[in-house]
Amino acid sequence: MKSHSTTILTIRHQGVVAMGGDGQVTVGNSIMKADAVKIRRLMNDKVITGFAGSTADAFALLERFEAKLKDYPSNVPRAATELAKEWRTDRALRRLEAMMAVVDAKHTLLLTGNGDVVQPTDNVLGIGSGGNYAVAAARALIAHSTLSAVEIVRTALTIAAGIDIYTNTNIMVEELKEG
């Protein structure tokens, strides 16, 4: 059975970076868990990660990323690149089905199993089954509202939950100051 899970969204707005995710884990056509926590703070709360995909695979990647952060504590892009290289070349890791969004005070990064480390141009990044819906909503809210970064993430994820059946409204949001 294929597992579907999550929508993760992160934005930078008004000097704040916010990342949020829903809590739904679905296996087949059943909701297995409604309150999973898919957002984690690392490195003394200086880095926030969010993951989408197979839960066990995501936790394996999260552990490896945390180890890379310890090797390169003040260089999140380097830690991400080193993980991506390992992910792409390691036979066991290549089979993992997960993606990660990673933010710190300066960087917004997407890490994929293809070895990609991508920084979005507009600092709006969504992953998971409802990621594109959340990104579209966030971009519209950034352009046409006075909401805070946290409020934009929460609202955009709520909109995505109304469209994507693998996303719920049990939303958790974390924030960091930029710079």
Note the pLDDT tens digit of each residue in 66-125: 999 999 988 999 999 998 888 777 766 666 677 899 999 999 999 887 778 999 999 999
| Owning domain of residue 87 | 3-171
Q: Look at the chain and report how many structural domains it folds into.
A: 1
* Residues carrying an active site annotation: 6
pLDDT at 26: 85
Q: How confident is the model at residue 2 (pLDDT cuts 50, 70, 90)?
A: very low
DSSP letters along 58-97, please? HHHHHHHHHHHHHHSTT-HHHHHHHHHHHHHH-HHHHT--
d(CA 147, CA 13): 9
**What CATH number does residue 97 fall under?**
3.60.20.10
